[in-house]
Structure formats: C-alpha cells, structure tokens
Amino acid sequence: MRRKMVSRSAPVALGAALLMLMAGCGAATLSQDEVQTQAQQALSEQVGIEAPPINCPSDMEAKVGAEMTCTLSDGETTYEVYITVTALNDDNTANFDIQVADTPVG
C-alpha cells in the first residue's frame, strides 16, 4: 500500500485491506460490520489520523468486481465511499479498493 497524505477533498484510493468471507446458505458475503471497520482502518492508515466512521447499507457480495457505495461523515460533511472487491484469496479473505469521492454529498 502506498502511503501519502491527502486532503479531505481529494480522492483516496486504498487497496489490499483484508476481510474474512462469511459463507451462508447462499453466496459468500462480506459482513457489513467488517467492511465498515476494515475500510475505516485502511483509510485511517492512509491519511495518518483516525478517519470518521464509514457506514455501508448492507453485507457485500464476496465476488471480484462487486461494488458498494457507503458514506463517511465528520458530523458536518458527508462523502460517498466506493468499495470494490478486487480479489478473493484461498485463505477465505478478500482484497478490496476504496475510493472516497472528492466532493461532498448534497
């Protein structure tokens, strides 16, 4: 993972955050809580300070190319956060990329 400081309004691309896959009755999923937690931790590492909580609408399909739009808010401004599964590994983990929108919602 490359490390660089970015401003809040700049897009942020993060990669290789790992999530455990949950195999249920149907297709494997990435739990909503785990996606939110791992995305916040990866973003915090990228910018060097604790990132605001990330909120996602549901569990995420554990499939390469699966995408989800989440949000983060600092209490005043809300940004969309785009999460994409980039790889599924043999050890029941998934890699994903995160992109924070460069303009606030609304």
Sketch the domain layout of the chain as residue ranges.
12-97
Mean pLDDT score, 3-7: 31
Per-residue confidence (pLDDT) for residue 5, from 0 to 100: 28
Alpha carbons 100 and 2: distance in angstroms, whole number: 16
Q: Rounded mean pLDDT of the chain?
A: 79
Determine the residue type at 37: T
3-state helix, strand, coil in the chain (%, to 5): 15, 40, 45
Which tens digit of pLDDT belongs to each residue from 33-83? 999 998 998 889 888 999 999 999 999 998 999 999 999 998 899 999 999
Higher model confidence: residue 96 or residue 1? 96
In sequence order, what are the residues at sequence separation of 6 or more whose Cβ sits closer than 8 angstroms to the Cβ of residue 33?
Answer: none
Tell me: pLDDT of 4 over 50.
no
> DSSP alpha helices (H): ranges in the chain?
32-47
Alpha carbons 61 and 86: distance in angstroms, whole number: 12
Per-residue confidence (pLDDT) for residue 67, from 0 to 100: 96
Tell me: pLDDT of 2 over 50.
no
Share of the chain above pLDDT 70, in %: 75
pTM of the complete model? 0.77
